Structure 1
Amino acid sequence: MTNPPLLGEFGRIARFFKPLAAGFAGARGLRDDAAVFAVPEGRELVVTTDATVAGVHFFPDDDPGDIAAKLLRTNLSDLAAMGAEPLAYTLVTALPRGVGEEWLAGFAAGLGADQARFGIGLAGGDSVSTGGPITLSVTAFGLVPAGQALPRWGGRVGDRLFVTGSIGDAALGLQVALGKLDIPDETTRAHLLRRLRRPDPRSGIGPRLIGVASGALDVSDGLVADLGHLCEESGCAAVIEAERVPLSEAARGAIDGDAARLALALTGGDDYELLFSAPETARAALADLARESGVPITEIGVLTEGPPGAVTVLDGQGVPLDLPRRGWDHF
């Protein structure tokens, strides 16, 4: 019995990626060198790119469906932070020759499931081989009303600070995956690992923050670090209260009063929640949005006068926490 012939580049595209492009007319069935699509009148195109590398952003033996989901969702989170609705994306895969069709099938299935969930389609891309680790990149396109994309630099002194969902699950989940954090309760472990591997981009909330939020971004490098970025661009400082930062039940159980684990939750990153500033008068509108969306929106602090980018985190007694770092830095 002989093994079936391996698919070449175009065979892989036809089997695994053409089906993902079928629902987006601008992809032209992946039969041309580029996609073609128009931007509706009164809208602007928002473009973002994120890459992910085995051994840096994910474990080489992670489930390919999880890898695909996180790759797409991190880009969707960037769109949400700008107030944009998902439209399409392109994909670049740089794969070692040993990556087989079973891996590709799982990866494509992960993309397909999330395309259906978030209403986005594949517009094209490229596929190459590499002698290095698996390297993947997505460029995502979204639509926003003209002139209304949410900026990082719109925060003003006195604006309140809000965050969606919960913070710290992914950072704690990474420690579980690395074997550095022992969590006996399987439900807690599963929740933390799921939030690491499949974050929840707030695609339904971002567009509804237009006209409400003054400045916004998503939490990828860590709550404190990303708040620092918003403050730098807005020319102000910030004070947040650690006890007001929303933690899931699983995260609270994992932290269990440990100061180092709390610091990790505040600075570890990979949350992909929305962090934004808004005037005090927006509280009622945000409470309505949280209720309608089913996603908590929590006030955690305020923008203040001070050195641009400075972030102070207070404990329950109003004493500043001495954090060992602000967040993730690739370099």
Structure 2
Amino acid sequence: MGEFELIRNYFAAAPCAQAGDGVALGIGDDCALLAVPAGEQLAISTDTLVTGVHFADPCDPFLLGQRSLAVAVSDLAAMGATPVAFTLALTLPAVTADWLDAYARGLNQMAQGCGVRLVGGDTTRGPLSLTMTVFGRVPAGQALTRSGAQVGDLLCVGGDLGNAAGALPLVLGQRTAPAAIAEPLLAHYWSPQPQLALGQALRGKASAALDISDGLLADCGHIAKASAVGLLVEHQKLPLSAALLAFLGENAARVAAVSGGDDYVLAFTLPPAHLPALLAEGWPIHVVGRVVAGQGVTLLDANGQDITPNIRGYQHFQETP
């Protein structure tokens, strides 16, 4: 099967690849054409997933299709953007019809759930890797960034932490657990749900935001640096799911919550005056700390003592001493 036949059979005909809102021209030409309404800006982000680094090989291609798009769309949520379109650069060691069919179905299901359309990409031969570029739109001047946190703001997250890190032993086949425990953890790992609606609700309210991909402490460090502030995280306020606690126990669950990657929930700073209305609207917001003068991120125990671990999250190119 040639490149163009592969694209036509498995991707171009998918429901998520059809023209729609924001897409003036999709797959079939040298470029796609996106229509951005007047007064809005285009938000763009690229994510690459590599076999053996971001996912085990072999793995379920349907679930991989969901995960590979969700982690990219989560960046749009972090900016408060509305999804429009995405491209896929797919590198395959070989063309396997069953694998491609399952991957395309998972990709399409996540795309339709997120309201984002496939508008192009590329295919080539090589070690399995997946590169997504996502496009969204946001009213001019209202994008959430990492650089606006102010002393006195609250540090908040948009949901339970550590579930994906807790799922990793299950994903790798190192441990097993009853379905009531394993299923919610695995669902969070394979099918994270980008917090698009929450990101849009935070426009004009949150002073800084990002999505948690490499661990709470590591990612909040980006806010602290960009905003030139310090962040205090209170260990006892971390939201932990019942499944994670049952699977890991409290101590290990808290380690996963602060240092484990792949949560894909939003972390953001918020002036206290905005919190009551957001909670009244039903948003899953948990206050886990506060913004202070200083620099960096500090983890505090129940007595206010510094218990910040040396390993704060995942880094692709860790410097060695």
Q: Does the alignment reach a TM-score above 0.5?
A: yes
Q: TM-score, normalised on structure 2? A: 0.93
Deviation at 1:47, TM superposition (A): 0.3
Distance change >3 Å, CA 63–CA 178, structure 1 → 2: closer
| Native 8 Å contact 1:24 1:122 kept in 2 | no
Q: Give SS of 1:205's match.
A: helix
| CA root-mean-square deviation | 1.6
CA offsets, 1:233-287, max 9 Å, x none?
00011111111111111112223233x4422321111000000001111111221
The answer to whether the aligner puts 1:52 opposite 2:46 as a matched pair is: no
2:263 maps to amino acid: D
Which residue, out of 133, 140, 158, partners 2:134? Answer: 140
Structure 1 match to 2:257: 265
Which residue, out of 255, 266, 271, partners 1:274? Answer: 266
The range that moved more, 80-89 or 31-40, is 31-40
CA offsets, 1:207-249, max 9 Å, x none?
1110110000000010011111100100011111111111111
| Native 8 Å contact 1:18 1:29 kept in 2 | no
The runs of 5 or more residues in structure 1 that have no matched partner are 1-6
| Native 8 Å contact 1:27 1:123 kept in 2 | no
Deviation at 1:321, TM superposition (A): 1.8
Which residue, out of 302, 314, 320, partners 1:328? Answer: 314
Tell me, in whole angstroms, the C-alpha distance in 2 between the residues paired with 1:261 and 1:246.
10
The answer to whether the aligner puts 1:90 opposite 2:87 as a matched pair is: yes
| Native 8 Å contact 1:87 1:119 kept in 2 | yes
Structure 1 match to 2:11: 17
| Native 8 Å contact 1:192 1:250 kept in 2 | yes
Tell me, in whole angstroms, the C-alpha distance in 1 between the residues paired with 2:233 and 2:193.
23
The answer to whether the aligner puts 1:300 opposite 2:297 as a matched pair is: no
1:304 maps to amino acid: V
Which residue, out of 32, 44, 49, partners 2:29? Answer: 32
1:243 maps to amino acid: Q
Tell me, in whole angstroms, the C-alpha distance in 1 between the residues paired with 2:11 and 2:289.
45
Which residue, out of 110, 115, 118, partners 2:114? Answer: 118
Tell me, in whole angstroms, the C-alpha distance in 2 between the residues paired with 1:240 and 1:183.
31
Deviation at 1:37, TM superposition (A): 2.2
Which residue, out of 268, 280, 293, partners 1:288? Answer: 280
Structure 1 match to 2:219: 226
The answer to whether the aligner puts 1:213 opposite 2:206 as a matched pair is: yes
Q: TM-score, normalised on structure 1? A: 0.91
Which residue, out of 318, 321, 330, partners 2:304? Answer: 318
CA offsets, 1:291-328, max 9 Å, x none?
1xxx511011101111x2x2111222332224141111
Tell me, in whole angstroms, the C-alpha distance in 1 between the residues paired with 2:34 and 2:24.
8
The range that moved more, 263-272 or 15-24, is 15-24
Structure 1 match to 2:63: 66
| Native 8 Å contact 1:183 1:254 kept in 2 | no
| Native 8 Å contact 1:16 1:104 kept in 2 | yes
CA offsets, 1:22-67, max 9 Å, x none?
2447474522111012211111100000000111101111111111
Distance change >3 Å, CA 50–CA 15, structure 1 → 2: same
1:301 maps to amino acid: G
Tell me the number of residue pairs that the alignment of Structure 1 and Structure 2 aligns. 314
Which residue, out of 123, 128, 131, partners 1:127? Answer: 123
| Native 8 Å contact 1:255 1:262 kept in 2 | no
- How high is the sequence identity, in percent, across the aligned residues? 41
Tell me, in whole angstroms, the C-alpha distance in 2 between the residues paired with 1:322 and 1:277.
20
